[in-house]
Structures are given as C-alpha cells and as structure tokens.
Amino acid sequence: CYDRPSYASFLERGGGGTMILSLLRLPLAVLNSVRQLVSQTFFVAVLFSVITWTSILLYGVFYWNYIPKSSHVYPVHLHFESRACPAGFCDFLMANVTIVRPGQDDYLARGQRYKIYLDLEMPESEANQRIGMFTVVLDMISEDGEVLKSTHRSGVLRYKSMLVKIFSTLAYIPMLLFGSAEEKQIVSLQLFEKYVEDYSKPATQAGLVIRNSHIEVYTATLKIFADFTGLRYLLYNWPLTSAIVGISTNFFFVSLVALLSWNHLTPAKPKPRRRLSADKKKAAEKAKLEDDAEETEGDTSSDVSSGQPDIVKETKEARKIRKKKELDEKTGNTLRQLFGAALHESSTSLSSLIGDQEASSSTRQRTPT
C-alpha cells in the first residue's frame, strides 16, 4: 500500500525516526508535567493548612489567656454565730465562702471589673414578713486574713396583699399540692457593682453576715459576674466575628513571615555576566591608554617647569604635596604684596600729613600777631 521509493527516501532523510522519538517522549513529558503539577498543588495545600491551623491556634491561645472566666457561682452554707449587737450578743447567720482553693491558681482576673450578687431563697412566711428589712455584710478577705473591701446592703421580701395571696394560692393549689411550686421568693442583692481585683493581694475568701437573728432562708448563692469592657467586651459578645477577624489577621502576618523567610533562606541565583564584545574591549583599552598618556604628559611638564633634568613619574601623594607647596607659595606672595601695598599707602599718607602740618605752621608765622 505504501509507495516504497518515497517511504524509503523519507526514512533515509531521518524524518520517521524523529517522529517516532517525539511520539515516545510525549507521554513522558505529559507525565512529568502532571507530576510537577501534583507536587506543587500538594505543597501549596500543605502550606495553606499549616498556616491556617497556626493562625487558629494563635487566636485560641490569645482568647484563652485574654478572656477570663465570665461567671463564678459559689454555694453559701449559712450557720449561726454570736456577734455583738445593741442588745448584747445576737446570733447572726454567717458563712465563709472560699473563692480560691489553696494551691490552685484560679483567682479572679487582676484589673478586671466584677459584679457580685447574693441570691437568697426565702419562704413567704410570717416571720420573714414581720422582720421587714435586713442587712447583709460582705467582706473580701485575702490569703493572710486581711479585709480588702467591705460592703453593706439591705434587702426585703416583695410585698403581697392578702387578696393577691388568696388568689395566687387558689391558682397554684394543684402545683402546691404536688410539690412543683412553693411559696417562696428569691431576693437578689447586688453587693458590689464595680469590684476590681487587687494585683498584689487577690481575694481568696468572702465573709457573709446576715444581721438578723430571726430571718428564715432556704438557700443562699454567691454569684460573681465579669463586667467586660473594651476589647474583651467585643471578643466575648461577638465571638464569631472576632474569631474571623483575628484568624484572618494572624493568617496574613504568618503568611508574610513565611514568605520573607522563604526569600531569605532560598539561595540567590547568580547573575549572568555580560560578555564584552571585542569592540568594547578595544575601546576600553584605548581609553585607558589615553588616560595613562595624559597623566604621563602632565608629570613631565611639571618636572620640566620645576627644573628637574630627569623625567620621573610622580606618585599621587607626591603630586598632592607639590601642589600644596605651590599653593602655600602663592598665598605667601599674595600676602607679601598686600602687606607692601598697605605699607606704601600708610607712608604716603604720613608724608602728606607732615607736609600739611609744615605748610600750616609756615602760614601762621607769616601772619602778624
């Protein structure tokens, strides 16, 4: 089917061998390009994941250390203890609440502002209604027993008229019978509005005293809430937005550091040296020879003018010294000329002054007295 002479001539020219080699090399070239693309993609993916997780880790560490615990809840176990009162000694309800356990670094954040509340669960009994208002004292105590801050607050049960009590009791009879509801009130007292923990002496205990010996209390709870402001307020109240902004910022700076480190650690490619052509080399050599000839001519002329018989090539330092001497000689000659001119003018003015004086004296002698 083939035209044998033309096919043979084609093979003799080498076209068939070149085509076969190119066809054999094509899969290898494609494979190399695919492998290079896969390796580059894998490297970029690994680098991106490392930078991303590093940014997330940095933001998490910052958030964990910068944002303190927002709330602390402590149960209060009240007991009666005799204290001095106007009537002598009274049995007041007291409690010591441990804020920080010994050996544990769980203090309140230094410099952070807190709000401290005391919730009293009190029955709506006749005794509580009869005592009316009562006073609660809170002392923040350091580890060595020093009272850092103290506050006094008063509380009272909410008033309910007899008619309201009757209707509420009738409405809640089923729940009251089955125990799902109780006739009680929760009195919440704000003991500290802006409590700031001391840097040098943090509080470890809280001392509570209810100054009434007839009060009835079911349970008591001490609650401490952090009052965030500024950056902490933004981070705590908008955590998702803050996380996006913080992680993006960390990603930018970590990427910048990685890029600068890569450029610094990567060896610089040697710059290709430009080859001078023969004409440029000849021109440079010619210019150099001309400069040397001019310097030699200047040296010979200076030697001839100074009266030296031999032509000696001066060095740069010798030329500088010679020029300095010539400048000094010129300056001295100029100063001498100026000084001579000044002397000549002064002598001329002095002689003219003497002549004027003699003429004036002669005229005075001629005039009769």
Together in a domain, 90 and 220: yes
CA atoms of 5 and 233, how far apart (whole Å): 92
CA atoms of 8 and 11, how far apart (whole Å): 5
Task: Tell me how far CA of residue 320 lies from CA of 195, 278, 315, 323, in angstroms.
Answer: 82, 37, 9, 5
Domain membership of residue 348 (yes or no) is no
Domains identified in the chain, total number: 2
- Which pLDDT does position 309 carry in this prediction? 44
Lowest mean pLDDT among 39-48, 125-134, 224-233, 264-273: 264-273
Give, in degrees to the nearest 5, the angle at Cα 109 between 103 and 113.
145
Domain membership of residue 258 (yes or no) is yes
Domain membership of residue 369 (yes or no) is no
CA 309 to chain centre: 76
For the stretch 42-49, contacts whose Cβ atoms lie closer than 8 Å and that sit 24 or more positions apart, written own/partner, are 47/258
Q: Is the pLDDT of residue 345 over 60?
A: yes
Together in a domain, 93 and 116: yes
Together in a domain, 60 and 201: no
Domain membership of residue 195 (yes or no) is yes
Give, in degrees to the nearest 5, the angle at Cα 220 between 183 and 145.
165
Closest CA to 76 of 235, 217, 252: 217
Domain membership of residue 248 (yes or no) is yes
Together in a domain, 172 and 245: no
3, exposed or middle or buried, with CB in 10 Å at 0-12, 13-18, 19+? exposed
Tell me the backbone φ, ψ of residue 270, rounded to 5 degrees.
Answer: -65, 135
Q: What percent of the chain has pLDDT over 70?
A: 66
Together in a domain, 218 and 79: yes
Q: What percent of the chain has pLDDT over 90?
A: 27
- Which pLDDT does position 3 carry in this prediction? 46
Task: Tell me how far CA of residue 162 lies from CA of 16, 168, 169, 361, in angstroms.
Answer: 115, 10, 11, 144
- Which pLDDT does position 19 carry in this prediction? 66
Together in a domain, 249 and 150: no
**Statement: the pTM of the whole predicted model exceeds 0.85:** no
Where is mean pLDDT largest: 26-40, 48-62, 157-171, 265-279?
A: 48-62
Domain membership of residue 19 (yes or no) is no
pLDDT band at 159 (very low <50, low <70, confident <90, very high): confident
Q: Is the pLDDT of residue 1 over 50?
A: no
